[in-house]
Structure 1
Amino acid sequence: MLQPVAVGHKTLADYASIVGRTLVEEIRELADPLRGTRVLHLSATAFGGGVSEILYTMVPLMKDVGLDVEWQVIYGREEFFNATKVMHNALQGNPQDLTEDQWESWRRYNEMNARELSRGWDVAIVHDPQPAAMHTLVPEKARHWIWRCHIDLSTPNAATMERLLPYIQTYPASVFHMEQYVPAGMEGQIHIVPPAIDPLAPKNMAFSPEDATYICQQFGIDVDRPLLCQVSRFDPWKDPLGVIDAYRIVKEEVPDVQLALVGSMATDDPEGWDFFNATVAHADGDPDIHILNNFNNVGAIEVNAFQSHADVLIQKSTREGFGLTVSEAIWKARPFIGGRVGGIPLQVEDGVTGYLVESVEECAARATAILQDPGLGRRLGLSGKEHIRKHFLMPRLLRDWLKMINELEDQSPVR
């Protein structure tokens, strides 16, 4: 029942001109003793969200440097994903805990998937809370286990955290975006590793202004007028309603401004459509607000076009695990405004590579200032792109994974 995910082919050498040969050579040295190591990535979905985007690049790059890697997706029905969405929100601070029935559903589906997991892995990397019980259920199916947390656990619902902790605390190694996200009681090696983006993926590759303009026109954007844009899931934590409120304030100073809210609807996010509809309702029919998702034929190329064309890119999150859309946005060398939460400040030096804000009014003021001073926007965009190049591109993340796997192997030299 566990579904293998087909990934394309990628070559580390293709990244050398972007990240430099020194990093590429370091990666090859780290990978050499790991040739043939069997690695499993296990996640909840192959579509939508940062986890799957990372794995579509990380898995083929791990293969390219000699590891034997597979990515599998767990099985789950609507009742399971309803429960894990409540869990996800609660772990990020929502006061609503899972019901007993929902906890039972989560356990039952973990047990079902654990039975189907094949044996013989050297390293099993379990992504996020959905399949987190795997290690306690079938520890014998892999020599090493790593739990990779992609969400903000800094202020979790205490009851939810208490129930989840026994399943995650005994992983031999765990990985978090930031130290503040590590819950009390974790027992194994703890690694702090921010995620990264693929600069050669269709969403991030270099795009000509003419191509970006053409694609934006296809979605009704007036390319001769200024554009604000936020790319993210339709989720309360991403605050698209607050972005609309900020846009309305900007419009008082810059009457011809437009707004695009662009997001993908993930298979493990049943609440997504409800909040998408709430966002549409909040826009109240404004013809200058464009609300688009992957069901409007908005894919990676289209997202790239919107980000490359926009005059200001926004990620006004109120809670954020890391926010890969921030690195993606800044990589386009466009001026960026983000919420001062979660992993966003790691990616933005306030006033140098973008702006950090804490309110609708502050977001609107920064956007207005950028629209009224194109030189400011260019300076922010160029310095931001260089910051992302140094710290948040995929080869750096590959290096960090290889370091972790080497550490685990060094602790058990007999294979």
Structure 2
Amino acid sequence: MPEMLAAYAEVVGQDVITHLQQLARPLKGMKVVHVNSTRVGGGVAEILEKLVPLSNELGIDTRWEVISGNEDFYRCTKAMHNGLQGHRTPIADSLLKAYEEVNRKNAEQLRPQLEEADFVFIHDPQPAPLLGLCPNRRGRWVWRCHIDASRPYRPLWRYLRGHISPYDASIFSLPAFAQSLPHPEYIIAPSIDPLSEKNIDLDAAELDEVRRRFELDPDRPLILQVSRFDRFKDPVGVIEAHRLARKFVPGLQLVLAGGTATDDPEGDMVLQEVRQAAGDDPDIKILLLPPDAHRTINALQRASDIVIQKSTKEGFGLTVTEGLWKGKPVIGGDTGGIRLQVVNYHTGFLVRTPEGAALRIRYLLYRRDRMVEMGAKARQFVRENFLLTRHLREYLTLIVGLLHGAQYRIELA
């Protein structure tokens, strides 16, 4: 058995790997291409970083391509991201023209391999126009939406729908996120890689080293949020929750750890807002980490008592999955894909306000036995539902279904 598959078998069991091999056997030699807008930063890049080589190890010729753009392109796609999540975000015609022009230029470079591929997966709005720019395509194209598009800004959705409707299928993370489209629609939740540096087990010495590096006191409770500096992640609300909880939990430490993505032009602005909200509070650490700081994030999650992801909008929230995998109860925003992972009172708590988050922080830190119980449930829940092997199995099932003409559709409310 190839080395990567053998390593996964030790985590998920040989039966899971055998099933993947059975699904992949009739697909061997098939050409598959994934396209997104960044190779570092964000959950999409993290998923593709391991999904692609694992697919190759199963005998499927899989490639990952990244489109590049200019400042106007990223301003436009950030506005699209916000608009899909419900913000009324009119986009100037000049930005839409830049968006279309960037896709035309990328299509010129990518067209040969996209048109000869058997399957092309286009991730999120950034490269959505590529299908219309590849008139001689011979394979099937799937648009994969990682965003909570349950209540999109309608003028924006009408525009994007024109690019997305001609696809052969679409994938959404939750049924509630889907929009009516004239082709089969699939539901596939994201996943984490249990063998990545961000999720492997670490020894106590490495945790101690990270505590020393960031001046964290091991004898005082620690809460942690890991995310890009994005307003939808509500880092300022986390700071408020920390200050409310600290009134009842003296010495409570907070770490906000994150970075920026190359396709997010608002990250620096939000980071400044967070630093201003934190002020010179010695119990709040704001860490701007490089994209490859995976072991550091892993250590911070394992060193924390509680993981927080207080998003107000969230496509899925892989940092929630990561926290659960480390055996930590997660306090998450009552939104999007977080609801799929945080089972109230079992794997963590869902909250809507800083006051609600503060209440749950206080509850857990005064009930350590509940924290241990919830953490054990959390890790098992991820093992059964949100690991990369399950994710790949569902991609393979989708490919087989489309190849054989299966017209699966979800029921839209």
- Using structure 2 for the length normalisation, give the TM-score: 0.95
**Mapped contact 1:238–1:318 kept (Cα < 8 A):** yes
Q: Which residue of 2 aligns with 1:313?
A: 307
Call closer, same or farther: CA 1:10–1:397 in 2, change over 3 Å.
farther
Instruction: Return the letter of the residue paired with 1:333.
Output: G
Select 2:149's aligned residue among 153, 164, 186. Answer: 153
Which amino acid is the alignment partner of residue 15 of structure 1?
Y
Q: What SS class does the counterpart of residue 104 from structure 1 fall into?
A: helix
* Correspondence for 2:201 among 206, 209, 212: 206
Unaligned runs of 5+ residues in structure 1 are 1-8
Q: Which of 362-371 and 107-116 deviates more?
A: 107-116
Of 56, 60, 63, which residue of structure 2 is paired with 1:67? 60
**CA drift at 1:139:** 4.2
Residues in 2 aligned to 1:37 and 1:397: alpha-carbon distance in whole angstroms: 19
Amino acid at match of 1:46: R
Residue 197 of structure 1 aligns to a residue in which SS? coil
The answer to whether the Cα contact below 8 Å between 1:12 and 1:395 also exists between their aligned partners in 2 is no
1:250 aligns with 2:240: no
Could you tell me which amino acid in structure 2 is paired with residue 365 of structure 1? L
After TM superposition, give the deviation of residue 107 of structure 1 in Å. 1.0
1:115 matches 2:111: no
What is the match of residue 172 of structure 2?
Answer: 176
Per-residue CA deviation, residues 224-283 of structure 1 (Å, 9 max, x unaligned), is 211010001110110000000000011101111100001121111110010011000010
Residue in 2 that maps onto 1:375: 369
Whether the aligned pair in 2 keeps the contact of 1:10 and 1:57 (CA below 8 Å) is no
Q: Hey, what's the Cα distance between the residues in 2 that align with 1:143 and 1:10?
A: 30
User: Shift of residue 97 of structure 1?
Assistant: 1.9
1:190 aligns with 2:185: yes
Instruction: Mark the runs of 5 or more structure 2 residues left unpaired by the alignment.
Output: 407-413
Q: Secondary structure at the match of 1:389?
A: helix
Aligned partners of 2:94 and 2:224: how far apart in 1? Answer: 40
Distance 1:127-1:298 versus aligned 2 partners, 3 A rule = closer
Range that drifts further, 37-46 or 17-26: 17-26
- Once residues 329 and 319 of structure 2 are traced to their aligned partners in structure 1, the CA distance between those partners, rounded to angstroms, is 13
| Alignment correspondent of 1:336 | 330
Match of 1:89 among 63, 82, 94: 82
Residue 4 of structure 1 is matched in structure 2 by: none
Q: Percent identity?
A: 41
Instruction: Give the alignment partner of residue 36 of structure 2, picking from 19, 25, 43.
Output: 43
Task: Say whether the 8 Å CA contact 1:87–1:97 is kept in structure 2.
Answer: no
**Distance across 1 between alignment mates of 2:193 and 2:144:** 19
CA shift for structure 1 position 298: 7.2
| Alignment correspondent of 1:278 | 273
Which is further off, 175-184 or 196-205?
175-184
- Give secondary structure in 2 for the equivalent of 1:153: coil
Matching residue's letter, 1:337? I
Equivalent residue of 1:255, what SS?
coil
Look up the match of 1:28: 21
Whether the 8 Å CA contact 1:124–1:142 is kept in 2: the answer is no
Question: What is the CA–CA distance in structure 1 between the aligned matches of 2:266 and 2:3, rounded to whole Å?
Answer: 34
Whether 1:130 aligns to 2:126 is: yes
Kindly state the Cα deviation for residue 177 of structure 1 after the two structures are TM-superposed.
0.2
CA drift of 1:371 comes to: 1.0
Shift of 1:13: 2.0
Count of aligned pairs between the two proteins: 402
Aligned CA distance change for structure 1 residues 218 and 10 (closer, same or farther; 3 Å): farther
Name the aligned partner's letter for residue 126 of structure 1.
I
TM-score, scaled to structure 1: 0.94
> C-alpha distance in 1, partners of 2:227/2:23?
34
> What is the letter of the counterpart of residue 118 of structure 2?
D
Give the secondary-structure state (helix, strand or coil) at the position aligned to 1:174.
strand
Letter in 1 for 2:385: H
For residues 150-198 of structure 1, the C-alpha deviation after alignment (integer angstroms, 9 at most, x for no partner) is 00100111111111111012210110001111112x1111100001000
How far off its partner does 1:381 sit? 0.6
Amino acid at match of 2:83: A
Whether the 8 Å contact between 1:229 and 1:260 is mirrored in structure 2 is: yes
Find the counterpart in structure 2 of residue 6 from structure 1.
none
Counterpart residue number, 2:348: 354
> Which residue identity does 1:376 align to in structure 2?
R
Partner secondary structure for residue 191 of structure 1? strand
Residue pair 1:217, 1:223 contacting (<8 A) in 2 also: no
In 2, Cα distance between the equivalents of 1:254 and 1:294?
A: 28
- Deviation, structure 1 residue 377: 0.8
- Once the 2 structures are TM-superposed, how far is the Cα of residue 17 of structure 1 from its aligned partner? 2.2
1:349 partner SS:
coil
Change in Cα spacing, 1:165 to 1:10, as seen in structure 2 (3 Å) is farther
CA distance in 2, matches of 1:345, 1:201: 24
